[in-house]
Every structure is written in structure tokens, then in C-alpha cells.
Amino acid sequence: MLLGFVLAAVSPAVVVPSMLWLQSEGYGMDKGIPTLVMAAASFDDVVAITGFGVTMGVVFATGNLAWTVAKGPLEAVVGMLYGVIVGFPLWYLPDKDHPEKATLRAALLIASGVAVMFVSRRLEFGGSGALGCISVAFVAAFGWKREHDGAAAASKTCSVLWEIFQPTLFGLIGAEVQIKNLDKATIFLGLAVIGTALSFRIMTTFLVVYGANLTIKERLFVAIAWLPKATVQAAIGSSALDFARTIKADDDIIQVASQVLTIAVLSILATAPTGAAAIALAAPRLLHKDKPGDEEAADKPRDEAAAPVQPDSGRL
């Protein structure tokens, strides 16, 4: 189950830029397909990260079984409550007229996320950390979007920081994989698990969007767009191994956690470039492209188009 949640998440670092490119090119805009994919991917990531945190708590739990079972849902509730309690004040901090509003908002958002991650781990409520970090950003952005510039300024600041930390994240997870310690069975079985999971995911996604008023080609594209995996796998793939080493777990548990990390890395290598290429190649073939004048024609008032022609009085 732990591995399942690791592999379930879609990579926003691959999907979101691809969907923004589709929007700029006009592909699928008539039915809002890029927006649909981005929104569904965000929800998918929240569920996967939350499930991973809860499962981590169950796998490494010690003591009373009843408390272990109840702790998972409790961690999710605590994480969401943290997001509401901390995110709501960020609507008003700092003042909306402050000259450094964007920088301060980004700093407060990052600080609140880092704080909940460290505190939750300290209190052994690891599942609350990831969900709390996501929830506080969601609540804060919901309030910021009421302003004319929305959350764009703070998002831009965070994007700059992400460009710095993204190579570090992938570099660290790559360094954890010891090539000499890998056995062929783990690699082949890992690829088999990834391939099987992706096959079922494509079929399930194709069926789920049946009632979304999409054509067969558009439903197939949505299924393809959910293939890439990268960012989330890099972020949480090594968590089980790190925690197992911290608590000095048995060698068997460390070995299983290492296999989870290895398969997470394999999923990145196998699906991130392939998924991005598949989206770019499939969009022109499966999606309708709006013409540049379509939106203007649709926005043109009907009464203006139907206005009667006034006779030229000079010719009467």
C-alpha cells in the first residue's frame, strides 16, 4: 500500500507546464480539458500524499493497535485543521497595500509549511505534516485570489525558489540509489509493477471521464496526460527509508524501504520523459484546436451582428 501511494501521484512539474502549453496553443479549450487535467491532478496528489503519510504511520507504528488504526484518520483531520487555522490569517498578513506583499506572503507560506513538517515529525504525527502543508497553501491562495492580482505574485516568488530546489531534490533522491546494490529482480519486478499500474490507470481514467461529455479521443488524451511521475515520487520516495534508518529498524524493513525508493526512481525515469512526449504528440492528434478567431466570434454580441443597416440619407 505504501508503494501504491508513492506511484499513484501525478507529477505537477510535468503535467502543469504541458497543460499550460496546450492552453496557449488552443488545444482542448472548447471543453476545458487542460483545466480538467490540472484540477484532477492536484486532487490526486493531495490524496496520494495524505494516504502515504497515514500509511507510513501505520507501517512504522508501535504499541496499541486500536490507537494505530485511529491515528491515521486523526492525522488527516489535524492536517486539515492546521491548514484552516494558519491559512485564514494569511489572507490579511501582510497588509494588501504593503510594497513587499508578494515576498512576505511567500515567506509566511513557506515558513508555515516547514513548521508543520518539523512539528508533525517531532510529535510522531507524520501524516499531518504533508496534508497541513498543502492545506495551508490552498486556504491562503483561496483568500488571495479575491484581490485583483490574486495569488500570482506569491506563486511567482515560489516558482523562482522551486527552480533552485528542484535540482537539489532530484539529485538527493538519485544519490540514495546505490546501483551496485540493485539486483535484477527488483528492477524487472519494479518495471512490471509500474507497467501494470499504468495500464490499469489508463483504463480506469478512460472509464471515469465517460460522463464528462468528451469524445473517445479526448478521453484517451486525459488518460495519457496522467502518466508522468516525477516530483511527488522524488519528494516522498525516500521518506520510508529515511525513517527506517532514523528508528534503526530491522534489516528486512530497511530492505523493503530501499525497494520502495528504487521503484520510485524507476517510475521517474520511465514515465517523466515518456509522459511529457506522449502529451506533446497526442494533443494535436486527439484534441480539437481552437482557431484564433473563434473566441472573438463567440464573444461578439448577437444584437450587433443582427443590427439593421441604416439607409444613407444622402442617397434618398
Flag whether 308 is in a domain. no
Flag whether 299 is in a domain. no
Q: Is 272 exposed, middle or buried (0-12, 13-18, 19+ CB in 10 A)?
A: buried
Q: What is the mean pLDDT of residues 91-112?
A: 80
Q: 18 or 174, which is more confident?
A: 18
Query: How many domains would you assign to the chain?
Result: 1
Q: What is the mean pLDDT of residues 133-138?
A: 83
CATH of the domain at 96: 1.20.1530.20
Q: What are the grid coordinates assigned to 297, written together? A: 466570434
Flag whether 31 is in a domain. yes
pLDDT-based confidence at residue 281 (cuts at 50, 70, 90): very high
Percent of the chain with pLDDT over 90: 4
Q: Is 297 exposed, middle or buried (0-12, 13-18, 19+ CB in 10 A)?
A: exposed
Write down the mean pLDDT value for the chain: 79
**Residue 121 sits in which domain range?**
1-286
Flag whether 298 is in a domain. no
Closest CA relative to residue 36, chosen from 182, 176, 216, 225: 225
Flag whether 316 is in a domain. no
Q: 303 or 268, which is more confident?
A: 268
Flag whether 192 is in a domain. yes
Flag whether 69 is in a domain. yes
Does the pTM surpass 0.85? The reply is no
Phi first, then psi: give them for residue 126, nearest 5 degrees: -60, -35
Flag whether 291 is in a domain. no
Which of 13-17, 122-126, 308-312 is the most confident on average?
A: 13-17
Q: What is the Cα–Cα distance from 258 to 180, expressed in whole angstroms?
A: 13
